[in-house]
Amino acid sequence: MNKKEKYLEEVSRYVPSSAQTLSKYPGQFVIGVTPVAIIKGKGCYFWDVEGNKYMDTMLALGPMVFGYANDKIDKAVKKQIDDGTIFSLPSIHELELAKLLKEVVPCAEMSKFLMSGNEATSGAIRLARHITKRDHVAKCGYHGFQDWSICTKEGRSAGVPEILKTLTHDFVYNDPSSLEKIFVDYPDKIAAVILEPASSEKPTDNFLEKVKEIAHKHGAVLIFDEMVTGFRWALGGAQEYYGVIPDLACFGKAVSGGYPISIISGKTDIMKRLDEVFVSTTFGGFTLGVVAAIECIKMMREYGDVHKHMHEIGEYFMQQANQLSQKNNLQVEFVGYGPHPVMKVKIKDDYLSRVFKTFVYQEFNKSGILFSSSMMFGYEHKKKEIDLILKVYEEICRKLNGIVDYKDLEKKLEGKVMAPRSVRAQQ
Ligand SMILES: Cc1ncc(COP(=O)(O)O)c(C=O)c1O
């Protein structure tokens, strides 16, 4: 066992799955090679427990648009720490943030503040169920670990009552007929249609407009889960980027530079009905999250080029990386949007695909880059950083060029093969 494996072995005796979030579980990386624990971060870099510096291409799964330990955001937060973090009554900052959101997010006539993305999407679904007096939900993608959301996901629904699985129905992104079918199968029963407006797949053939039309035709509430796209695709989120305004939208991550807050925003007539449902939590309106969100939004407005930068830098990366992959005959493609490129490995065999990914991750790690196939770029990733990632990727491509049987690649792995996405424990 090397130092990293020993550390993980110890953590596994105290912390189930050795981490708190699926995307941070050791098995999702290269056990024995990937850094195991972080001591501090600055900008788009961090230092691990062994004192090594890495460039980060995940940005804590999305929040750190302005990088780790951003001076401006932290200054606002530190001032608030001195003034108190949570009170017995709402803080004055809640009104300021709600007003600011109304200025920048098209649907945000009113906003409610919670802590996690789970809470926001669950609050929005409960509100839709109350308003429509219907129980069923049509969804597309991931919206948090709560029962109604995760119940249809194979490998992740252990512990969810079977009965709840009958109330959630998945539709397929870019396939409006799959949504229409749910309304046909469950007439007058669907309370809400919830989806991420985009992720690695881009909407085609007016998909978002069609989803809105179908939802409204059948009397359902349209909810955009903007946990990833919000404040990342554009200041006003994907709804501004695509010009399709939902009834409700949920935000988190990029809005607040790493301090916890989640938001339900929406049209006044719908949001007012929150008076009638119970959506409440002790830390709702946590001042550090609220203050950080205000600062982040102001910075995005003041700098003016934050989202343009993320799109441009990420598009540049994808274009160059895809050229390198093609030149070296690799079965891999970077897809999606500049602020959130996704590496798609096109090797059909699941195990060999993971061997391939493990090798790519390993080589990035050995060159001082924390890599994930689900990348998040931020304002702190400048051309210098992107060119460094590309230089390392070029070298990786060169090493992979000519390998016909990826089984041979296994011998070049210096750590364990990555676990499938559904496996949580380290293997
Ligand atoms: C699209 C989407 N919705 C909801 C969530 C849940 O948010 P949280 O993890 O803050 O509860 C996530 C988290 O990754 C997400 O990506």
Q: Whose CA is nearest to atom 8 of ligand 1?
A: 117
The answer to whether residue 347 sits within a structural domain is: yes
Task: Single out the catalytic residue among 4, 139, 189, 253.
Answer: 253
Quick check: 341 and 411 in contact, CB under 8 A? no
Cβ neighbours around 5 below 10 Å, total: 17
Residue 142 among the catalytic residues? yes
The answer to whether residue 418 sits within a structural domain is: no
Query: For the CA atoms of 62, 358, 196, 148, what is the dihedral angle to 10 degrees?
Result: -100
Our answer on whether the CB atom of 309 is closer than 6 Å to any ligand 1 atom is no
Our answer on whether the CB atom of 225 is closer than 6 Å to any ligand 1 atom is yes
How much is the pLDDT for 424?
Answer: 54
Beta-bridge partner residues of 140: 195
Q: What phi, psi does 94 have (nearest 5°)?
A: -65, -40
Q: Which two tokens stand for residue 157?
A: 């629904």
Could you tell me the residue range of the domain that residue 394 belongs to? Answer: 3-62+305-412
Domain identity same for 232 and 288 = yes
Q: Whose CA is nearest to atom 10 of ligand 1?
A: 117
Domain identity same for 57 and 76 = no
Residue to mutate (ligand 1; options 142, 146, 233; most atoms within 8 A of CB): 142
Query: For residue 49, what are the CA distances in angstroms to 13, 36, 305, 372?
Result: 18, 7, 35, 20
Residue 379 among the catalytic residues? no
Domain identity same for 41 and 121 = no
Count of domains for the chain = 2
Task: Single out the catalytic residue among 54, 142, 173, 406.
Answer: 142
Q: What spacing in Å lies between the alpha carbon of 131 and ligand 1's midpoint?
A: 24
The answer to whether residue 426 scores a pLDDT higher than 90 is no
Domain identity same for 310 and 296 = no
pLDDT digits (tens, 9 = 90+) for 384-394: 999 999 999 99
Task: Single out the catalytic residue among 48, 74, 225, 247.
Answer: 225
Q: What spacing in Å lies between the alpha carbon of 226 and ligand 1's midpoint?
A: 9
Domain identity same for 130 and 279 = yes
For the chain, the average pLDDT equals 96
Domain identity same for 216 and 277 = yes
Cβ neighbours around 176 below 10 Å, total: 18
Q: Which two tokens stand for residue 128?
A: 């839709």
Quick check: 314 and 338 in contact, CB under 8 A? yes
The answer to whether residue 425 scores a pLDDT higher than 90 is no
When pLDDT is averaged across residues 313-322 and rounded to a whole number, the result is: 98
Domain identity same for 192 and 328 = no
pLDDT digits (tens, 9 = 90+) for 80-129: 999 999 999 999 999 999 999 999 999 999 999 999 999 999 999 999 99
Stated pTM of the model: 0.97
Q: What is the Cα–Cα distance from 65 to 308, expressed in whole angstroms?
A: 12
Q: What is the Cα–Cα distance from 35 to 53, expressed in whole angstroms?
A: 10
How much is the pLDDT for 386?
Answer: 98
pLDDT digits (tens, 9 = 90+) for 21-49: 999 999 999 999 999 999 999 999 999 99
Q: Which two tokens stand for residue 37?
A: 């624990």
Residue 253 among the catalytic residues? yes
Q: Which residues have C-beta within 8 Å of that of residue 354, sequence separation ≥ 6?
A: 417, 418, 419, 420
pLDDT digits (tens, 9 = 90+) for 175-227: 999 999 999 999 999 999 999 999 999 999 999 999 999 999 999 999 999 99
pLDDT digits (tens, 9 = 90+) for 332-344: 999 999 999 999 9
The answer to whether residue 235 sits within a structural domain is: yes
Our answer on whether the CB atom of 265 is closer than 6 Å to any ligand 1 atom is no
Domain identity same for 325 and 366 = yes
pLDDT digits (tens, 9 = 90+) for 267-289: 999 999 999 999 999 999 999 99
Our answer on whether the CB atom of 143 is closer than 6 Å to any ligand 1 atom is yes
Domain identity same for 184 and 293 = yes
Cα 302 to the center of its chain, rounded Å: 25
Q: Whose CA is nearest to atom 7 of ligand 1?
A: 117
How would you class 310 by CB atoms within 10 Å of its CB: exposed for 0-12, middle for 13-18, buried for 19 or more? buried
How much is the pLDDT for 126?
Answer: 98
CATH number, domain of 216, equals: 3.40.640.10
Q: What spacing in Å lies between the alpha carbon of 143 and ligand 1's midpoint?
A: 5
The answer to whether residue 423 scores a pLDDT higher than 90 is no
The answer to whether residue 150 scores a pLDDT higher than 60 is yes
Residue to mutate (ligand 1; options 20, 61, 143; most atoms within 8 A of CB): 143
Domain identity same for 299 and 315 = no
Q: What is the Cα–Cα distance from 263 to 115, expressed in whole angstroms?
A: 8
Residue to mutate (ligand 1; options 118, 139, 153; most atoms within 8 A of CB): 118
Q: Which two tokens stand for residue 166?
A: 């009958």
Domain identity same for 224 and 359 = no
Q: What is the Cα–Cα distance from 257 to 85, expressed in whole angstroms?
A: 17
Our answer on whether the CB atom of 406 is closer than 6 Å to any ligand 1 atom is no
Q: Whose CA is nearest to atom 9 of ligand 1?
A: 117
The answer to whether residue 392 sits within a structural domain is: yes
Quick check: 53 and 45 in contact, CB under 8 A? yes
Q: What percent of the chain is predicted at pLDDT more than 70?
A: 99
CATH number, domain of 317, equals: 3.90.1150.10
Domain identity same for 75 and 205 = yes
The answer to whether residue 422 sits within a structural domain is: no
Our answer on whether the CB atom of 314 is closer than 6 Å to any ligand 1 atom is no
Q: What is the Cα–Cα distance from 168 to 139, expressed in whole angstroms?
A: 7
Q: What spacing in Å lies between the alpha carbon of 262 and ligand 1's midpoint?
A: 10
* Reported confidence tier of residue 427, pLDDT bands at 50, 70, 90: very low
Q: What spacing in Å lies between the alpha carbon of 251 and ligand 1's midpoint?
A: 9
